[in-house]
Structure 1
Amino acid sequence: MNRRDFLLTGAAAGTLAVADTWTPAFARPRSKLRLGMIGTGLRGQSLMGSLLGRGDVEMVALCDIEPIMLARAVAAVEKAGQATPRTFGADGDVHAYRRLLELDNLDGVIIATPWEWHAPMAIDAMQAKVPVGCEVVAGITLQDHWDVLRTQQETGTPYMLLENVCYRRDVMAALNMARQGVFGELVHLQGGYQHDLRGVKFNSGHPDEPYGSGVEFGDKGWSEARWRTRHSIERNGDLYPSHGIGPCAHLANVNRGNRFTRINSFASKARGLHDYLVDKAGPDHPNAKLKFAHGDVVTTQIACANGETILLQLDVSLPRPYSLDFRVQGTEGLWMDVNNGVHIEGKSPPHKWDDAQEWFAKYDHPLWKKHAETAAGAGHGGMDWFVLNGFVEALKIGDPMPIDIYDAVTWSAITPLSEQSIAGGFETLDFPDFTEGKWKARKPIFALDSGY
């Protein structure tokens, strides 16, 4: 038995009497957390910035196989006035994170690496009894999701998917409206990820030019262009569903009195990335001859046990302004974010929209009222602060994770299911019940209502 397991066993038995003996946060309440970060690229550094601004978090260990990013992350920790963290991975060992997980004083770890590493890293962390805050997505294959779920169930180690859009201010106001019955009985929901990522998937390969700087990818690219572009070449499905489905699932009480039952997906032809490369580099550039499997617009439909329908769209390869295209529609009215409009029967002018901000000011979520000033300036309009705060506060006091393991695998499994549907001629599939029937008894709560 290693020291971590010994301490856990002792804590459970009530035998730890030495005041300074370390015990992980999920074994007993703590006022301060010692966290590690696996993946210190641009996303990892952004998340770390929010964590370093807290007085209850110490960043004690960092891991990345890119020395430039690792050095910048270390410098950020030192600039924040914290002790120089332990580092792993500068030698290029892709499994260096396992050495980080062997440290005997970690209260949790943030995983902000390329998608294909999320499942194996989370599994290794949970097996080491290190709580996980994992960037989206939870896994690649359907089996990945079952493996992540089983590991969490077997080890009891906390796991949270860091889906920040669930904390977007307008999304939470709409949730508050729905909870108070303003929309009536919910009937239909929409969301998605509609964001021009052409300049993200290709760049010059220079560390200080990650966006819109060129047409390279893979080994010649940098940051997301190094790994994310390959998924567009090889895969066809909704590869990034959680920004849209997370808020919709909370609104529909999925996994808490409701569940997804059926799913199908459709993909358009692929033209956007090819045309972008031709325009930027000319038809003779080697990358202009690439064949992309991923359709430019992927549309996914989901049916729920309680009768709601959900529509998701992924649109990241064509020129367009950013939008998550939320729609919350019930028997008494609806909100649509694309036109910033709310219409409530009997309260809005007939057949006309109200400015959504008038309603959101009235129904602003209590969490935003409480923390808006603290979250100001954090990534993605404050959403990053909120999602990390949920992880940190739940871990400190031993509460369930705000976005728990069932949420994580259910939302993320849309990706492999959509791939299967498209490959099968847009067939409709049964949606797995990851709760294995527990959804019927779980209460329709949303952990954001907890007060932190």
Structure 2
Amino acid sequence: MSQLPAVSRRLLLGGALATTGVLATGVGAAPDAAAAVTAASAPRRKPGQKSMIDVPYDVHRTVRVGVIGLGNRGSGMTTGWSVVPGCTVTAVCDVRADRVKRVADGLVAAGRPRPAEYGGSADSYAQMLRRDDVDLVYIATPWEFHHPQGKAALLAGKHVVVELPIATELDELWDLVDTSERTRRHLMLSENCSYGRNELAMLKMAHEGLFGDVTNGHGGYLHDLRELLFSDTYYTDAWRRLWHTRSTASFYAMHGLAPIAAAMDINRGDRMTTLRATATEPKGLADYRARFVPRDHPSWKETYVNGDLVTCLIETAKGRVIRAEHDVSSPRPYSRINSLAGSRGIFEDYAGVLSAGGGRVYVEPDHSGHSWRDFGSYRKEFDHWLWKKIGDDAENNGGHGGMDYVLQWRTVQ
């Protein structure tokens, strides 16, 4: 693919790593003011410091993983790491010691080696990072801990995979970029949806030119989480609900945004340059609380400020437009939208089409008459090599339809 000229770190902020943090900042400022702040916040590289793009990983006979955070996501992914060929979990950590023992016991029961156990205090992870038998650290803690724990892992000489968002402030994101470049260790977003079967088929179709010149994409995270947000057990200490009391932000649009960015070759031929955002009024959580939550519940002391639907409009250097949405507080079926369009056609996922492949497609010259066609045959034709190779293993071993396993397998590879 053609490459754009080298860009300054001021423009790099529009790239795939930083996007998560950009979407987690406030959207109340006027677009021009927000853009100016973004540009001014990008620090300059220190002399001799270079990008980590295309820097290869060291070769390991076995990749040894340490896990920080053993809640719903972390415990499930720990099992996933343990079954990937060429990978072993050597250490697990959580501030709650009972979770550490439960996960370690589960690995032993499944016939895996017992990992070293760290837990019971806020700095247990720092003790784990001193181990010399951990090559890769996977972080699945609440969002506010991602930056300090990710940075500590890099400084300890480990590569890092972090659940989204990687950080919640722009200065934290730049600090992680700088730390990665200084330590020469990679820090990667754990974006499982980039490895979904439909998403990878869409990527292959885009790269093979089926959509012509790609002009726009639409992705997001639209998931009715109201019941879970008010659960007293699902999100420990209500950490996720409390974010809705702190800022107006698009917390989590990457599930839909990342596959679109990949299909547009962001940071591999194009780059994001401008982001504008809008938010609706915050109505959903308060309405749900009024109808279903007892008056003595601690949530009644909270005021929700984040809009139900936050929409980000992102422009790229090549003139493309991406619409990224986040909504977890409205009644609706689940959707990541996952739509890509160009001069010769369009693909729309989550469109209510019941078929083997899901989604619908319309591409010239195959189609005419302004009528959508089923995506199933196209997914079969453009099935990505990852799913052809390990699809059965993914469906048997991985969560979220197998995409978790594909992410972990590809990372270890």
* TM-score tier after normalising by the smaller chain length: 0.7 to 0.9
| Alpha-carbon offset, residue 33 of structure 1 | 1.9
- Which residue of structure 1 aligns with residue 367 of structure 2? 348
Paired residue secondary structure (1:263)? strand
- Give the superposition deviation at 1:288: 3.8
Q: Which residue of structure 2 aligns with residue 200 of structure 1?
A: 228
Q: Which segment is superposed worse, 252-261 or 141-150?
A: 252-261
Do structure 1's residue 133 and structure 2's residue 199 form an aligned pair?
Answer: no
Query: Relative to structure 1, is the Cα distance of residues 300 and 27 closer, same or farther in structure 2, using a 3 angstrom cutoff?
Result: closer
The runs of 4+ residues in structure 1 deviating greater than 4 Å are 282-286
Go from structure 1 to structure 2 and tell me whether the alpha carbon gap of 1:385 and 1:111 turns closer, same or farther (over 3 Å shift).
same
Alignment pair present for 1:390 and 2:402: no
Letter in 2 for 1:96: S
- 1:233-252 mapped onto 2 (5 Å cutoff): 233-252=245-264
The letter for the 1-side match of 2:364 is: E
Distance 2:263 2:113 in 1: 42
Shift of the 288–331 alpha-carbon distance from structure 1 to 2, 3 Å rule, reads same
Q: Distance in 1 between matches of 2:378 and 2:266?
A: 25
Q: Alignment partner for residue 308 of structure 1, among 278, 303, 320?
A: 320
Provide closer, same or farther for how the CA distance between residues 286 and 391 of structure 1 changes in structure 2, counting only shifts above 3 A. Answer: closer
- Equivalence map 1:24-423=2 (5 Å): 28-90=58-120, 93-205=121-233, 210=234, 222-223=235-236, 226-281=238-293, 287-288=299-300, 290-339=302-351, 340-377=359-396, 378-393=398-413
SS class of match (1:238): coil
- Determine helix, strand or coil for the equivalent of 1:376: helix
Rounded Cα–Cα distance in structure 2 between residues aligned with 1:139 and 1:277: 29
For residue 376 of structure 1, what is the amino acid of its counterpart?
A: E
Deviation at 1:346, TM superposition (A): 2.5
SS in 2 for 1:165: helix
The aligned amino acid for 1:102 is: R
- 1:281 positional shift: 2.5
Is the contact between residue 40 and residue 69 of structure 1 (CA under 8 Å) also seen in structure 2? yes
In 2, distance between residues paired with 1:176 and 1:302? 22
Q: 1:160·1:391 contact (CA, 8 Å) conserved in 2?
A: no
Aligned to 1:105, what secondary structure does the other structure show?
Answer: coil
* 8 Å CA contact 1:196, 1:316 repeated in 2: yes
What are the ranges of 5 or more consecutive residues in structure 1 without an aligned counterpart? 1-25, 211-221, 394-452
Please give the alpha-carbon distance, in whole angstroms, between the structure 2 residues aligned to 1:227 and 1:254: 32
Following superposition, the deviation at residue 55 of structure 1 comes to 4.0
Q: How far apart in 1 are the matches of 2:98 and 2:294?
A: 32
Structure 2: which 5+ residue stretches go unaligned?
A: 1-55, 352-358
How far apart are 1:283 and its partner, in Å? Answer: 5.9
Aligned equivalents of 2:150 and 2:217: distance in 1? 30
Please report the RMSD computed on the Cα atoms of aligned residues, expressed in angstroms: 1.6
Contact 2:282–2:308, Cα closer than 8 Å, also in 1: yes
Q: Which residue of 2 aligns with 1:217?
A: none
Structure 1 residue 30: Cα displacement: 2.0
Q: What secondary structure is seen at the aligned counterpart in 1 of 2:322?
A: strand
CA offsets 1:161-211 (integer angstroms, 9 cap, x no match)? 110000010011011111110010001101000000112211133xxxx3x
